[in-house]
Structure formats: structure tokens, C-alpha cells
Structure 1
Amino acid sequence: MDHLHYFGLPFEAQRAAFLDILLSDALVRQALVCARTLDLPDWLAVSGVLYNSVWNHLTGKPSGYGIKDVDLFYFDDSDLSYEAEDAVIRRAAKHFQGLPLPVEVRNQARVHLWYPQKFGRPCPRYTSSSESVRFFASKTHAVGVRYDADCQLELLAPFGLDDVFSFRVTPNRAMDNQRTHEAKGQRARDYWPEITVVPW
């Protein structure tokens, strides 16, 4: 049960462990430094590259195991056109050349414009990158990090870190995201059999 070493600890202890694990992973560290130098407004690295890296560390898996990509959010409501976001995506693709994982960059100010067509239901008009994280299908996945103005790593975890450290994928019913929760939960179990998926 060594992988549950941080489960049940106070949030500050979990926060310190979470950030230490991320910074000890060369792949994550490189992705975060690149994200900082891309200098997008209200940027946030989120989701799988973070919690999967923690699970890899705690289960003795190699860096990058089970990680599809690096999700990078930013928020810019000055131009909501597809063309403006596409220009940022193309700039990011050049910027992240050499990173072993693909980087998926998305402007959170635009999500409400394409989400209904893709998923068949509306989503809120977000006011920041941080706000969008609160609507992830699973509370476990609602984590984000970025460097602050003093180059210190800052953590966003609106539902805490106990789910991550207990290897438990817990639904977030803020939106009707049952299918996404179940699909991501199954994928996690395929890579990390220690995972428990809480039913929707």
C-alpha cells in the first residue's frame, strides 16, 4: 500500500508532495518551463500530465507512462474567433517542438462556442482558466499548475488532492458528464490497476 502514502494527510502536506513529485519529473518540468516562456494570458497546465505523473511516481512507473498529451489552458476573451485561437495553437506547436508529448492548447474563453456542437449540451461561459477546471467530469482530474510572477509553482485544486492520492476517480456532477467520467475512469484503470472508479 506504499502508493497510498499521502492519502489522508492535511492539504498543505499533500500540496507540497504533489508539487515536489511534479518538479522531480523531468518531462513535467520541461513542459511547465516551456509553458511559462510561451507567455499566454491566464495559462494553466491541467489534468493528465499532472495526476498521471503523480500516479507513475507512486507506483514506480516510468515518466510519461500512460500520458497522452499535455493540456494547456489559457484565457483570452479579446478575440473569440477560431482564427485567433488557431494562431496561438500554431505558435505553441513550434514553441513545444522537442517535447516528447504533444501539447493541446485551448482558449477557455471560447469553450462555450464549440462545446454544444461537440457534446450535445451547453456549457457555461467561463471567466478564467481556473473556473473551467471546476467543471471537469471527475473531481480527481480537476488540478492545474502554473508559475506565478515570482517563478514559484502555484497549484489549483478546487476539490483538494485526496482523490489523487487515494487513486480514486470521483465524479463531478456540475455538468452532465457521465460518459466522460466513465471513459476516463476506465482508461485510468487500464494503466493503473490500483485505481477505483466511483460510479456516477
Structure 2
Amino acid sequence: MNVIEQTHHLISKDEFRMACLKAARTLALPQWFLAAGFLRNAIWDHQHHKEQMTPLNDIDLVYFDTQDLSHATELAYQEQLIRLLPHVNWEVRNQARMHLNHGHLPYHNTEHAISQWVEIPTCVGVSLGYDDQLVFCAPFGLDANWSLNVAINPNSPQPNVFTQRIAKKHWLTIWPKLVLVSNV
């Protein structure tokens, strides 16, 4: 089984993640994905043979809509999701405006935005089609996630931010088999 098939199997058997994907799908947002830790942590938990999933601080729903860049719209989407799954800490962000927060040139689409995130294994997302098929966004592939390698994204080389995020999120304590890879 290749990493896409492994990831598909892992997510499709996860009732919580499938419920989140079904809730997100109801918004019918353009180019949407549940991203970053939603997918990354599931793989890392599996690779660490955890019986209980590591609690998510939040669930990042990202999408791309150049027609409505308002933060108020993102908050309205969050409220809709909270009504569907009130126990989830949703964070909805339109990637068409997020370049402003990071000092980047405008992103072309959701995948381009995801490809700019700090760590390679964080540059991942999954959505659910109306045919109930999982769709993955992984600009660098999923191999780093499955091999537990954590490297700085060469598209956004920020060694200080990389180090701070790993320490702040306690990744090496939660997932001690992670390997920090120096690539810049």
C-alpha cells in the first residue's frame, strides 16, 4: 500500500475526522481542506501506535475565495461549523487573504498557500467530495509524514519560527520518534 492509500485508509476509518469532513463539506467552500494538524497528527499518532488520538488544539479549515476576503465571513463559517459540531474548536481561514499576514505575494490557490507553511509535514490537507471520496492536498507529498521526518519548508525558510513552533507545540514530547531534518 502506498502512502496515499495508507492515508486514505487511516482517515476513512476515523469516525471523528470523517464527521469533521462531512461538516466542513456542508459549507460548499471553494478549494477547501481540513489541513495541517488534522491530517499530520493522525499519521504521526498512527506511526507512534497511539491508542487514543492526540487532542487537536483546533481544526484548520482553509479555502480560497478571492470574492470575499472579510474576516467576518470566516467567523460566520466557524459559527455554522460550531452549530454542527459544537465540541470542535474550528478555525476557518480564507487563504486568498492570508498572504497579507505573512508578508508573501498573493497565493494562487489553496494548494499554493499550503505549500508556504513552515514545516513540510504541516503542508497537508484533506477534503471530502460529494461522492464521499477523500481528496488530499500535499504539495510535498505525504512521505515525510509517514517517515516521521520534520523539515523546514524550503518555500518559506524560517529556522527561528520552525524551532519555536516545535518547542511550543511539544512535538518531540508527544511524538518522540519524530526526526528533525536539517535542510536549509
Q: Structure 2-normalised TM-score? A: 0.88
**1:149 to partner: Cα distance:** 4.3
Task: Look up the SS of the partner of 1:110 in the other structure.
Answer: helix
**1:170 to partner: Cα distance:** 1.0
Q: Does 1:108 align with 2:95?
A: yes
Task: Look up the SS of the partner of 2:2 in the other structure.
Answer: helix
Q: Does 1:185 align with 2:172?
A: no
Q: Give the Cα separation in 2 of the matches to 1:29 and 1:63.
A: 16
Aligned counterpart for 2:109 among listed residues 128, 131, 146? 128
Aligned counterpart for 2:41 among listed residues 49, 52, 61? 52
| Superposed CA offset, 1:69-92 (max 9, x none) | 211101111122333333333333
Identity, % of aligned positions: 30
Moved more, 83-92 or 52-61: 83-92
Structure 2: give runs of 5+ residues left out of the alignment: none
Q: Structure 1-normalised TM-score? A: 0.81
**1:66 to partner: Cα distance:** 4.5
Residues 1:54 and 1:97: Cα distance change in structure 2 (over 3 Å): same
Q: Give the Cα separation in 2 of the matches to 1:155 and 1:92.
A: 21
Residues 1:54 and 1:176: Cα distance change in structure 2 (over 3 Å): closer
Q: Does 1:167 align with 2:148?
A: yes
| Superposed CA offset, 1:140-191 (max 9, x none) | 1111111234321111111112211111101112124323322333321120
Q: Give the Cα separation in 1 of the matches to 2:164 and 2:12.
A: 28
Correspondence list, 1:142-153, <5 A: 142-153=123-134
Structure 1: give runs of 5+ residues left out of the alignment: 1-11, 117-121
**1:47 to partner: Cα distance:** 0.9
Q: Give the Cα separation in 1 of the matches to 2:148 and 2:30.
A: 32
Aligned counterpart for 2:3 among listed residues 11, 14, 21? 14
Q: Give the Cα separation in 1 of the matches to 2:52 and 2:35.
A: 17
- Please report the RMSD computed on the Cα atoms of aligned residues, expressed in angstroms: 1.9
